[in-house]
Amino acid sequence: MTTMGVAVIGAGYWGPNLIRNFLAGPDWDLRWVCDLDEDRARRALRHAGGVQVTTDLGQVLDDPDVVAVAVATPAATHTEVVLAALDAGKHVLVEKPLAPSLAEGQKLVAAADERGLVLMCDHTYCYTPAVLKIRELVMSGELGDVQYVDSVRVNLGLVQPDIDVLWDLGPHDLSILDFILPEEMRPSRVAAFGADPVGAGHTCVGYLTMPLAGNAVAHVHLNWLSPTKIRTTLIGGSKKMIVWDDLNPSQRISVYDRGVELQQPAEGEARQRAQVAYRLGDMVAPTLPEGEALQGVVAELAASIREGRAPLTDGRAGLRVLELLEAASRSLETGGGFIELEEVQ
């Protein structure tokens, strides 16, 4: 199978990771690295031979051998860069968030659809072995009906100067939630609560609450001010429950055969007299394959292009994350009330 030409646009924080994985991926021929700072682009390559460096995006997009580009520039530039790539007939992988606003993200998705091109969001966590396993357990029905998702993503810093903690850390958890839940369980509204106890000028501690179908609920806790780093998600099902501890490499996922069952009262008895029964079964820690999530990202990009299909984290997944973030911001502004979501098609 022949390789496809690819270029990485942006060699700052995330660009070097993409460069490394495209160089290692069997599907790809990395032809260009483009950055406004040419020296930074050369440093990101680490002396990899055969890759051209430029500060001119047009030079990259004029190369007929470039099939796809990966955009790792600041979010404020995504709309301009991605549209230019799509206009040049290139498939696009774009770092999250898809765009700085839902409206601009919708323009990108529409442009990709009109041109029949792949637009993929780099929701990296979705390609980790742990999240892929969680998705498998949820989608197969092994957990039963999802009853709740409770996620904690906290650490000390980095307090961002231009965005709040919801927009900084939230895309990780919201993209994971979108990835693991069945379509019929996606949130239809969101409420956000937050605080700025250090006077940073925007929310540093935030909480998102999202009711789900079937009286289920998803809750996300985000915090820049925690003394310790925690990356933990609990997923409760009617049959089994999952604990995902992303900071425990020896046992990232634990699946518990435990739960709560409500024994209905006899006819005529008050519901308050219903008996609660607890099921206490075994815990299993599934063996997860080793592998870097970004290798899964670049492999999925290649597969979606070759198979002419939407990638697992396509542009519409990016739109759903943006819609939740914008609705959460409106909720913060209005004192934490629920904001209804419009279905992103």
Average pLDDT (181-210) is 96
Query: Both 40 and 181 in a single domain?
Result: no
Phi-psi domain of 157 (left: phi exceeds 0; alpha: psi -120 through 50; beta: other): left
Q: What is the pLDDT of residues 272-319, one digit of tens each?
A: 556 788 888 999 999 999 889 999 999 999 999 999 999 999 999 999
Q: How high is the pLDDT of residue 49?
A: 85
For residues 15 and 41, give the distance between their C-alpha atoms in angstroms, rounded to a whole number.
Answer: 9
Please report, for residues 11, 161, 190, 195, 220, the alpha-carbon distance to residue 27 in angstroms, rounded to integers and kept in the order given.
21, 38, 40, 46, 36
> Is the same domain home to 100 and 18?
yes
Domain hosting residue 280, numbered range:
126-291+323-340
Say if residue 157 is in the same domain as residue 287: yes
Q: What percent of the chain has pLDDT over 90?
A: 87
Residue 94: inside a domain: yes
**311 domain residue, yes or no:** no
Cβ neighbors of 214 (< 8 A, separation 6 or more) are: 145, 146, 147, 185
Q: Quick one: 111 and 187 in the same domain?
A: no
- Split at pLDDT 50, 70, 90, the class of 166 is very high
Residue 328 sits in a domain whose CATH number is: 3.30.360.10
301/267: higher pLDDT: 301
Same domain, 28 and 161: no
Q: What is the mean pLDDT of residues 329-342?
A: 94
The reply to whether 234 and 135 lie within a common domain is yes
Mean pLDDT of 316-336: 96
Residue 182 forms part of a structural domain: yes
Q: Is position 308 within any domain?
A: no
Q: Are residues 143 and 278 in the same domain?
A: yes
- Over the chain, what is the mean pLDDT? 94
Indicate if the pLDDT at residue 269 is higher than 70.
Answer: no
If one counts the domains in the chain, the total is: 2
The CATH number assigned to the domain holding 58 equals 3.40.50.720
- 286 and 162 part of one domain: yes
What is the DSSP secondary structure assignment for residue 184, as one 8-state letter?
Answer: G
List, in sequence order, every residue forming a beta bridge with 54; answer none if it has no partner: 34
Tokens in use for 30? 């990395």
Out of 117, 143, 160, pick the residue that ends a domain: 117
Chosen domain end from 75, 99, 117: 117
Q: Is residue 309 part of a domain?
A: no
Render the burial of 22-49: b for 16+ CB within 10 Å, e for the rest: bbebebbbbbbbbbeeeebbbebbeeee
**CB proximity list for 56: less than 8 A, separation 6 or greater:** 34
pLDDT number for residue 345: 43
- Shared domain for 222 and 332, answered yes or no, is yes
Same domain as 177, residue 234: yes
Does 66 map to a domain?
A: yes
Domain assignment present for residue 19? The answer is yes
